[in-house]
Structure 1
Amino acid sequence: MGVRDWLGWPVLRQIGAGDPYGRGAAAKSSASEHLAPRTRTAQKVVKSVCPYCAVGCGQNVYVAEGKVTQVEGDPDSPVSRGRLCPKGAASLQLTTGSAREHQVLYRRPHGTEWESLDLDTAMDMIADRVIESRQQGWQWEQSGVRTRRTMGIASLGGATLDNEENYLIKKLFTALGAVQIENQARV
């Protein structure tokens, strides 16, 4: 091992640079010298709220050329003070994730393949099935007590839905007469 190899050791670099704790230039690698923050290219920063739970953590959404490029915690938020949970920190994938579908997919009963449907056809299919299930499971009364409910529909909301979506789903299913309404975030 030559003298040059010894001089490349981090401890010797720190002492030689007058940085014994390795918090300054001695800690930088050649790869990290050329790194730039992803937020530097943003054309604007939009204040937002994390869509996942009821806490309401603040987010800074960085936008460049009309596309979301980064989502970070908002340090000005009195709720989260710049911190996000793992789900909130990954909310960039809501808009830019490669696994995100941009069309309605349908698999017929006993089918093995997915097929694309237009949105109007899918909405009509859903509405027909909801109406039929509601009518088949409707109870006006049970044991002499007026119930006015349907036992043919239940809802289990997912944690990937935001507060507003969960609120609207709860209201919709209550209006339909369903009583079995639950959410994954509460279970």
Structure 2
Amino acid sequence: MEVSRRNFLKLSGASLAALVTGLGFEPDVARAQGYDLKIEGSQKIPSICHFCSGGCGLLLYVKEGKLIHLEGDPDHPTNGGTLCPKAASLRSVAYSSDRVTKPRRRAPGSDYWEDISWEEALDRVAKKTKEVRDSSWKATDPIKNAKTGEMEEFPVNRVEGIAFLGSAEVDNEESYIFSKFCRVLGTPYNEHQARI
């Protein structure tokens, strides 16, 4: 078939007009139906994002015990349905093959990580914490008396060898528990990542 220049332009214009009108399809309806098929049969669970202390609301869609879709909660006052890139990637984080699910240890001088049991991990942390606490305990501190001008020993009862740094994934309740834990240990060095 031979097409003249004029017929080519007519055919191109007709094709463009057909595409612009959508050929009778309604893209919004098709998109909504595709979304409904994606989450059909799942349970919608409202939740909170754990990546920072912002407390953004999430809607999780769980089917057969597995997260199949997540989105921002449009009724949540913090984020109003929007999600940052970290929150939007929660599903891939949960099911990543690289996710560590057991305690691991790299021995001094070793070049690889080995899996250890939870009991061994907790025992090692407890023993090391006790060792450092005992070796860096400070019962008194010399402080200059403002009235007499002489140095006097005052009780301080603190651990100077242990510090605690919170994470951006720690919520308010966990931060409260961590601050209590630091007081029990006797360390005044309790800081949070959000301030740094």
Q: Secondary structure at the residue paired with 2:58?
A: strand
Cα deviation, residue 13, structure 1: 4.7
Q: Flag structure 1 segments of 5+ consecutive residues without an equivalent.
A: none
Deviations 1:11-66 (A, max 9, x none): 865523554xx8x95989xxx98x94484245101001111223211110110110
Letter in 1 for 2:193: Q
Matches of 2:103 and 2:72 in 1, distance apart? 32
1:180 aligned onto 2:189: yes
Letter in 2 for 1:90: S
Cα deviation, residue 138, structure 1: 0.8
Deviations 1:62-81 (A, max 9, x none): 10110112221001112211
Q: Secondary structure at the residue paired with 1:185?
A: helix
Cα deviation, residue 180, structure 1: 1.5
Cα deviation, residue 105, structure 1: 0.9
Map of 1:16 onto structure 2: 18
Q: Secondary structure at the residue paired with 1:152?
A: coil
Relative to structure 1, the CA distance from residue 141 to residue 171 in structure 2 (aligned partners, 3 Å threshold; closer, same or farther) is same
Normalising by structure 1, we get a TM-score of 0.78
Cα deviation, residue 99, structure 1: 1.7
Structure 1 residues 104-123: aligned runs within 5 Å: 104-123=103-122
Matches of 2:131 and 2:11 in 1, distance apart? 75
Matched-pair contact (CA < 8 Å) for 1:13–1:26: no
Normalising by structure 2, we get a TM-score of 0.75
Map of 2:161 onto structure 1: 152
Q: Flag structure 2 segments of 5+ consecutive residues without an equivalent.
A: 143-152
Structure 1 residues 1-187: aligned runs within 5 Å: 13=15, 15-17=17-19, 19=21, 25=25, 36-37=34-35, 39-41=38-40, 43-143=42-142, 144-187=153-196
Relative to structure 1, the CA distance from residue 117 to residue 16 in structure 2 (aligned partners, 3 Å threshold; closer, same or farther) is same
Relative to structure 1, the CA distance from residue 49 to residue 39 in structure 2 (aligned partners, 3 Å threshold; closer, same or farther) is farther
Matched-pair contact (CA < 8 Å) for 1:17–1:26: no
Q: Secondary structure at the residue paired with 1:153?
A: coil
Matched-pair contact (CA < 8 Å) for 1:104–1:119: yes
RMSD of aligned Cα (Å) = 3.3
Relative to structure 1, the CA distance from residue 13 to residue 173 in structure 2 (aligned partners, 3 Å threshold; closer, same or farther) is farther
Relative to structure 1, the CA distance from residue 172 to residue 93 in structure 2 (aligned partners, 3 Å threshold; closer, same or farther) is farther
Q: Secondary structure at the residue paired with 2:160?
A: strand
Q: Number of aligned pairs?
A: 178
Map of 2:146 onto structure 1: none
Matches of 1:8 and 1:183 in 2, distance apart? 66
Matches of 2:59 and 2:76 in 1, distance apart? 10
Cα deviation, residue 161, structure 1: 3.9
Cα deviation, residue 183, structure 1: 2.2
Matches of 1:174 and 1:111 in 2, distance apart? 34
Matched-pair contact (CA < 8 Å) for 1:170–1:181: yes
Relative to structure 1, the CA distance from residue 14 to residue 163 in structure 2 (aligned partners, 3 Å threshold; closer, same or farther) is farther
Larger-gyration structure (1/2): 2
